[in-house]
Amino acid sequence: MIAFISGRVDSAGAEGAVVEVGGVGLSVLCTPDTAAGLVPGEQARLATSLVVREESLTLYGFADDDQRTVFELVQTASGVGPKVALAMLATHGPNAIRRAVATGDVRALTLVPGIGPKGAQKIILELKDKLGLPSGAADERVPRPRVQPWRDQVAAGLQNLGWAARDADAAVAAVADELDGEQVPPVPELLKAALRKLSRP
């Protein structure tokens, strides 16, 4: 198992990064929050989890060991693969996930793309005795929809792709105007929408 990687960030986007370790560029999938904290050219250390499939080896990176632990534990629930596990961490912090499971908060879990009410109930049932109780960290409160953080995540993703901060902020504002109170889509979709705004003449 690759417990962590440490090296220079070669590139970073909304969904992950490439980190140079010993002359080798390792592609790492991350939550938008983690990816936004990675700056090309600077050193970074990520806790990692290697997911092995017949056709692929995929490395997932996390800001700390607790995120990795929750990522791996939630996958022990039936129907939860790495993609959904990463979406859970992109939507809620580790302690927020623990509290949602501990309190049976189906609504909080259905905020995660790919999890419906039945899936949420199954996750709560199967993980209740595995995740433990939340610590005293700030994100232990009952999870709520994360409306504002996506703006910073998308803007950071655009800047990592080479757009100026002013242009990135303008594109994010344009996307926000089109949402008009509707449910916020996943960050990757919002990033694509912002890129479409920037590509228009």
Average pLDDT, the chain: 86
The pLDDT of residue 12 is above 60: yes
Check residue 53 and give its pLDDT: 87
Residues 72, 28 within the same domain? no
Residues 114, 173 within the same domain? no
CATH of the domain at 115: 1.10.150.20
Check residue 145 and give its pLDDT: 42
Residues 162, 191 within the same domain? yes
CATH of the domain at 192: 1.10.8
The pLDDT of residue 195 is above 60: yes
Residues 164, 123 within the same domain? no
Query: For residues 139 and 18, is the Cβ–Cβ distance under 8 A?
Result: no
Name the helix (H) or strand (E) containing 106. Answer: helix 106-110
d(CA 141, CA 123): 19
Check residue 21 and give its pLDDT: 94
Residues 136, 81 within the same domain? yes
d(CA 35, CA 14): 6
Q: How many distinct structural domains can be found in the chain? A: 3
The pLDDT of residue 95 is above 50: yes
Give residue 107's domain range: 66-140
**33, 62, 91 - which closes a domain:** 62
> Averaging pLDDT over each range in 46-50, 127-131, 167-171, 194-198, which range is the top one?
46-50
Count the helices and strands in the chain (H runs, E runs): 9, 5
Residues 153, 175 within the same domain? yes
The pLDDT of residue 118 is above 50: yes
Residues 93, 130 within the same domain? yes
Q: Which two tokens stand for residue 173?
A: 């504002």
